[in-house]
Amino acid sequence: MRRLWWVRHAPTYQKGMVGWSDVPAFLDDAAAIARLATHLPAVPVVSSDLIRCVATADAIQQDRPRLPHHPGLREINFGAWELRTAAELDAEDPMLMRAFWGDPSSNRPPEGETWDEMRDRVGTAVDGLLSITTGDLILVAHFGTILGQVQRARGCDVQAVLGQKIDNLSVTCLGFDGSDWQEQSVNHIP
Determine the Cα–Cα distance for residues 155 and 85; give it in Å rounded to an integer.
31
DSSP secondary structure code for residue 160 in this structure: G
Continuous segment of H or E residues that includes residue 7: strand 2-8
Cβ-based neighbours of 50, under 8 Å, separated by 6 or more: 20, 22, 74, 75, 142
**How far are the Cα atoms of 46, 57, 92, 119, 164 from residue 139, in angstroms, in the given order?**
5, 8, 36, 15, 19
* pLDDT 10s digits, 181-190: 999 999 999 9
Look at residue 164 and tell me whether its pLDDT is greater than 90. Answer: yes
* pLDDT 10s digits, 123-144: 999 999 999 999 999 999 999 9
Q: Regarding the domain with residue range 2-188, which homologous superfamily does it belong to in the CATH classification? A: Phosphoglycerate mutase-like (3.40.50.1240)
**How far are the Cα atoms of 57, 74, 112, 115, 155 from residue 159, in angstroms, in the given order?**
30, 21, 19, 11, 12
* pLDDT 10s digits, 24-82: 999 999 999 999 999 999 999 999 999 999 999 999 999 999 999 999 999 999 999 99
What string of DSSP letters covers 94-141? HHHHHHHHH-TTT---TTS--HHHHHHHHHHHHHHHHHH--S-EEEEE
Domain ranges (residues) in the chain: 2-188
- The predicted pLDDT at position 94 comes to 86
**Residue 182 burial (CB count, 10 A):** 13
Determine the Cα–Cα distance for residues 43 and 62; give it in Å rounded to an integer.
11
Burial 27-56 (b: 16+ CB within 10 A, else e): beeeebbeebbeebeebbbbbbebbbbbbb
